[in-house]
Amino acid sequence: MELGIETVYISPHYLSPMEDGGYDITNFTQVNPILGTMEDFKELIDETKARGLKLIVDIIINHSSDKHPWFIKSVNREDPYTDFYVWRDPKSYDYNGKPIPPNNWVSIFKGSAWQWNEQRKQFYLHQFTLHQPDFNLRNNLLKTEIKKIFKFWLDKGVAGFRIDATKYLIEDAEFRDDPVKPGVIVPYTYQDVTHLYTADLWETYVFLHEIRLFCDRVTKKFTDYERILLPEAYGGGKMLYQYYGSKDYKIAHFPLNFAFVLIVEYKNASFYHNLINNYLSPIPEGGIPSWNSENHDKFRKAMVYNPEYEYIFTTMVMLLPGVAYTYYGQEIGMIGARIRDDQKRDSNPDDFTKTTRDSCRLPMQWDDSFNAGFSTNPKTHLPVSSEYWKINVKKQKADKNSHYYIFKRMLDLRKTDVFKYGDFKSYVVSTWVFAFTRTLKGQGTFLVVLNLGSETEMVNLSSVIHKLPETMNVELSSPNSGYSVGDEIATSATIPNTFILRPFGAVVLSSKMPGS
């Protein structure tokens, strides 16, 4: 609230044996006792509302825990639960009489996506861990039960849902093999196949359309604001834009965009220019873009690159057109930490990076006291980062040049009409200098300049951006840029006033520009 954040989104809070950080659920309408009670959740709703905030919850409808009563009854073939999950007979048996999976589908966490159940004498599908059996979302009764879960939490007062793992909701009804990539003999990792039959099927969008219509009906009684659906839609391509639906065929309000999250290498200005414009241009009229660069599944950017580079991503996320997401700790530049084997909690490492996800899930660093002010317990669930004594909220709130105050200033800029409604245009100033403008007629222009490279750059803005004034004023700057708010910067390569930007520096310039 103090920063200007408008909405809070929380990770799964449901009853769970925690085989996968709470994404394996045994009761979708009960709060996990390790997190609190339903009374605590109601208090959370009330207190966020009292502060002018909205609360969005994570909802998982792709799978449950294998300890969920529905799954146990499905194993026993108890109707109506018999077909609540995806079950399949063996393809055949090997020479030892061991059942062979029905096809070559691969789990996100490696190995076959099929697990044999000796009691039922069939395989069940699990696109995630073997403790997370996939729902059969072609079963109409199951879909009715899932809609009841949405209604339960809407009635509790949530502002909407982040729908987990949406691209995996429905699989090919004919159970055809996914195409194997060249050079792969036996698929084992998720990257070994092209997921033609296990991701982004059109039936997924049809089901989400049903969910959208259902939630809209349930929330007609609310007149304050519309409750939203946000799919977790990893991947790009044309299927990402299908989540928007159309005026006459509503699906989600907008999908989460993970393009920045997936970047783990240094990329030049042309890369970001193309990435951003290729993402924005196909968004349908009235569609809302979204941006985020960190989440609970990937290393923090300050750890992948270095602390200074985190400003690059934060600046783009906050000042590009659309909705901005902030993963807790980004507002103070939390780095994360390498986790010792004896400290690990995540038994399902990310298949792409081959590393535990614990490093980005460490406790929030509030101050330099014991456990960073996060907990009074002798030990926390995951260790506190060793950086807590110098990177924490209390310390940064006392420093007007800290990451905290720069982030706060970005949020202030986002509230101006230029950043809310202004046009966007990006520029490749040089190989490693990327810039973009936000312009609104009668309101002037903001120019964001980013040095993506590891060398100091002499920046000649007027060489690629026409009709610039001779000088512009610094509205915001990262500490490593070499500039302060109020400084005047030359837009052309004039000596001795050449605009020099340090490695990984970020500045936001402003001026009344010709024609604005």
Measured CA to CA, the distance from residue 118 to residue 11 in angstroms comes to: 33
Measured CA to CA, the distance from residue 297 to residue 92 in angstroms comes to: 36
Cα atoms in the 13 Å half-sphere on the side-chain side of 259: 22
Q: Is the peptide bond before 282 cis (omega within 30 degrees of 0)?
A: no
Q: What are residue 387's DSSP bridge partners?
A: none
Packing angle between helix 310-319 and helix 403-414, nearest 10 degrees? 20
Measured CA to CA, the distance from residue 186 to residue 51 in angstroms comes to: 54
Q: Which is it for the CA torsion 331, 54, 345, 187, positive or negative?
A: negative
Give the residue carrying structure tokens 């990402």: 240
146 and 152 Cβ atoms separated by less than 8 Å:
no
Identified catalytic residue from 134, 164, 200, 331? 164
Characterize the bridge pairing of strands 87-88 and 54-60: unpaired
Q: Establish whether 331 is a catalytic residue.
A: no
Secondary structure (3-state) at 235? coil
Enter the tokens of residue 41.
């959740």
Q: Establish whether 232 is a catalytic residue.
A: yes
Identified catalytic residue from 24, 232, 358, 457? 232
405 and 399 Cβ atoms separated by less than 8 Å:
yes
Measured CA to CA, the distance from residue 227 to residue 219 in angstroms comes to: 7
Q: DSSP labels for 417-456?
A: HHHHH-EEEEEE-SSSEEEEEEEETTTEEEEEEEE-SSS-
Distances 328 to 8, 255, 296, 336 between C-alpha atoms, Å: 10, 20, 9, 11
Q: Compute how many other C-beta atoms are within 10 angstroms of the C-beta atom of residue 277.
A: 13
Write the secondary structure of 276-308 as one string of H (helix), E (strand) and C (coil).
Answer: HHHHHCCCCCCCCCEECCCCCCCCCHHHHCCHH
Q: Which residues are catalytic?
A: 164, 232
